[in-house]
Amino acid sequence: MTSFIIKDHVRRPKHTWNQDYCAFCRIIAGEAPSNPVYENDKVVAFLDIMPLRRGHTLVIPKVHYSRLSELPPEYAAAIGEAVSKVAHALTQALGNTALNVVCNQEYAQAVPHVHYHIIPAPTYDSTSTSSTSTLSPSPLTSPTTSSTSFLESPDTSPQLVPAQLSTSNQKTEPVSTNEHSHSHSHGPDHPMSKRQMHQMEFAGRSELEDEDALLLIKMIRARL
């Protein structure tokens, strides 16, 4: 699963680094808005504004380092403790213990400030026997760039029948096809693969809504 997350970000344009305009430093300084769920003297955690799935949270140190390998030990320890703490609260809030925890360094790193992604995993109901979704295994694009993101390799994942993704964003529209691709109806005779389910998730990414952000903040903080 981690490969899907990395490949979705790898071709996104990097920020032109300027210490006075680091997006995360601005959040830390209170110069840019965020949806914080946890904070102490060394780290802050907040909801991702373009969540891959509902509850997608970022944990960052309050000092500017672009590489995890150069982060001072006291901040590395603090961020590790915070990741564990927030991950526990998130699993309790959403009732799902499955997570992806990712930290990119240079490769696939969209913001050059150390940050961990805590992303709830989707939950698949393998007992479902029908679906109205129509998908095509065409390449996807990142929400912030028109470049093709991933899916170069053949799909070897097991086949699953599409069903409810309880931790995904609410907007999950079918993946649009290009002129060379063919749509496939999926049902009991044509189940979707995990790869195609991930396609649907990436295509359905949307900006975090204020109302849901407030609800998530309340749910997560109550379990810290």
The answer, yes or no, to whether residue 88 has pLDDT greater than 50, is yes
The active-site residue out of 56, 115, 117, 198 is 115
CA–CA gap between residue 7 and residue 12 (Å, rounded): 10
Q: Who's near 133: CB < 8 A, 6+ residues apart? A: 162, 174, 186, 192, 200
pLDDT score for 193: 75
Domains of the chain, by residue range, sit at: 2-122+208-221
pLDDT score for 195: 72
Closest by CA position to 133, among listed 169, 182, 187 = 187
pLDDT score for 178: 47
The answer, yes or no, to whether residue 39 has pLDDT greater than 50, is yes
Residue with the larger pLDDT of the pair 186 and 36: 36
Q: Which CATH superfamily is domain 2-122+208-221 in?
A: HIT-like (3.30.428.10)
CA–CA gap between residue 44 and residue 38 (Å, rounded): 6
CA–CA gap between residue 207 and residue 210 (Å, rounded): 9
pLDDT score for 159: 40
Q: Who's near 16: CB < 8 A, 6+ residues apart? A: none
pLDDT digits (tens, 9 = 90+) for 155-211: 333 444 333 444 444 444 444 444 444 445 555 566 667 677 667 766 767 899 999
pLDDT category, 21, cuts 50, 70, 90?
confident
Angle at 36 between CA 31 and CA 40, to 5 degrees: 90
Residue 62 CB neighbours (<10 A): 18
pLDDT score for 54: 95
The answer, yes or no, to whether residue 104 has pLDDT greater than 80, is yes
CA–CA gap between residue 101 and residue 198 (Å, rounded): 17
Residue 178 CB neighbours (<10 A): 8
Question: Is position 56 annotated as part of the catalytic site?
Answer: no
The answer, yes or no, to whether residue 100 has pLDDT greater than 80, is yes
pLDDT score for 206: 86
The answer, yes or no, to whether residue 70 has pLDDT greater than 80, is yes
